[in-house]
Amino acid sequence: RVAVEAILCEVPVLAIGEAESVGIVTKDRLNTALKSNFGDISLNHTALFRWTDVIPEIDKGFNMNKDELSLLREKVIEEFSIENIVHKIEDVYQQQIVKKKKYEMPVIMYHRVIKDESEKGVHGTYVTVKQFDEQMKYLKNKGYETITFEDLLNNKYKQRFDKDKKWIMLTFDDGYKDNYENAFPILKKYQFKGIIYILDGVKYNKWDVDDKNNPEKEFPLMNVEELLEMQKYGIEFGGHTSTHPKLAELSLENVKKEIILSKNNIENLVGKELLSFAYPYGSLNEDVKKIAQESGYQFAVATDSGSITFSDDLFEIRRVGIFPTNNLFNFKRKVSGRYNFIKVKREEKSYGKK
């Protein structure tokens, strides 16, 4: 408490405890200081400091300028704000609920919805109309309610554990024309809605067609009139970059162009703010996630990465993919809310984790 109050008074603080030496507390060292209770606790069995380091650290403290101390003060105010503390406590509760129930709201990922196998391409990222209708019928009969990210604003995603809620999210990547021609009529048939992630820089699946190692057939994407008709019904749109690159492999400057420029262009196109973003190929890292957040998105979805708990990281929401090889039995497992528990265990086993 003394250390925290000293920082709030913009006084330099030297943190040396029984377990380790943090040194002069700076903005970059604050998390380490808080984690170790300013040096008093540590998981290590041996002390991690040398007394000879003290004098140089004291010198650093005397040389800290007003701006450094002011920034550190702001960071501590943010860290100990009631909103932040409540948020962290709620996160722990949500994690424990998911762990106890072995259940989390399913977020499903589709791509194309085709009439029959004659329309399929090289890649298996599709389901047939027959499969999709059968799947939506199952969801309807079982009392699922489809929601979009607009329904989750203002922390409403916390309501997903309510007894009267049986929520599911249906997402579609890329914005293929068959989403309008084939999926849309079925969604309307069952009074369902979903989120479609669209691009602004191409009119067909150019990223796949131009793949030299595994070129795909050319499939058109939806036009503006089709997008607006779907939006009027209740379909939500999200961003998916301009050209569908692997963002983690780009420079940060190009990542910003792909995310921010496409967001602005798509919002102008549909006349509505985009709430969520989908990383092409699920390619992301912490810098990419940060740019997505700074661009104004409030959520972002991944593919096979992210926590089992939806609320752990709203910018890396794990999804469950649906493919043509999934029969109705597989689909039931994937939408049960328990599938990711099995999948993550399988992934950990394959990577040699326990």
Task: Give me the mean pLDDT over the 179-196 stretch.
Answer: 98
> Quick one: 143 and 268 in the same domain?
yes
End-of-domain residue from the set 55, 80, 105: 80
Residues 87-99 pLDDT 10s: 889 989 999 999 9
Classify residue 87: in a domain, yes or no. no
Written as six digits, the tokens of 179 are 């989403």
Q: Computed from CA positions of residues 17, 18, 20, 21, in that sequence, does the dihedral angle turn out positive or negative?
A: positive
Task: Give me the mean pLDDT over the 219-236 stretch.
Answer: 98
Of 58-62, 81-85, 102-106, 262-266, minimum mean pLDDT range? 81-85
Spatial distance between the Cα atoms of 109 and 125, rounded to a whole number of angstroms: 10
Prediction pTM value: 0.83
The answer, yes or no, to whether residue 38 has pLDDT greater than 80, is: yes
The answer, yes or no, to whether residue 354 has pLDDT greater than 50, is: no
> Quick one: 17 and 127 in the same domain?
no
pLDDT grade for 48, boundaries at 50, 70 and 90: low
The rounded Cα 320 to chain-centroid distance in angstroms is 13
CATH code, domain with 157 = 3.20.20.370
Which among 153, 107, 100, 150 is positioned nearest to 305, based on CA atoms?
Answer: 107
Residues 306-323 pLDDT 10s: 999 999 999 999 999 999
Task: Give me the mean pLDDT over the 100-107 stretch.
Answer: 95
Which among 329, 310, 300 is positioned nearest to 106, based on CA atoms?
Answer: 310
> Quick one: 101 and 75 in the same domain?
no
Angle at 151 between CA 257 and CA 309, to 5 degrees: 80
The residue range of the domain holding 176 is 97-350
> Quick one: 329 and 266 in the same domain?
yes
Residues 230-254 pLDDT 10s: 999 999 999 999 999 999 999 999 9
| Residue labelled with tokens 């048939």 | 189
Cα 318 to Cα 11, 36, 147, 204, 305, distances in angstroms: 43, 31, 16, 26, 6
End-of-domain residue from the set 26, 49, 80: 80
> Quick one: 154 and 289 in the same domain?
yes
| Residue labelled with tokens 């129930």 | 101
Q: Phi/psi zone of residue 352: left (φ > 0), alpha (ψ -120 to 50 degrees), beta?
A: left
Residue 188 and residue 127 in contact, taking contact as beta carbons nearer than 8 Å: no
Classify residue 116: in a domain, yes or no. yes
Q: H helices then E strands: how many in the chain? A: 15, 12
Q: What is the helix (H) or strand (E) element at residue 319, kind and residue range?
A: none
pLDDT of residue 86: 87
End-of-domain residue from the set 50, 80, 110: 80
> Quick one: 232 and 134 in the same domain?
yes
Task: Give me the mean pLDDT over the 173-197 stretch.
Answer: 98
Written as six digits, the tokens of 249 are 């492999």
Spatial distance between the Cα atoms of 350 and 328, rounded to a whole number of angstroms: 26
* Number of independent structural domains in the chain: 2
Q: Is 26 exposed, middle or buried (0-12, 13-18, 19+ CB in 10 A)?
A: buried
Which among 183, 174, 248 is positioned nearest to 206, based on CA atoms?
Answer: 174
Looking at the chain, the whole-number percentage of residues with pLDDT higher than 70 is 97
Mean of pLDDT over the chain? 93
Spatial distance between the Cα atoms of 266 and 197, rounded to a whole number of angstroms: 10
Residue 292 and residue 315 in contact, taking contact as beta carbons nearer than 8 Å: yes
Residue 107, strand partner residues: 169
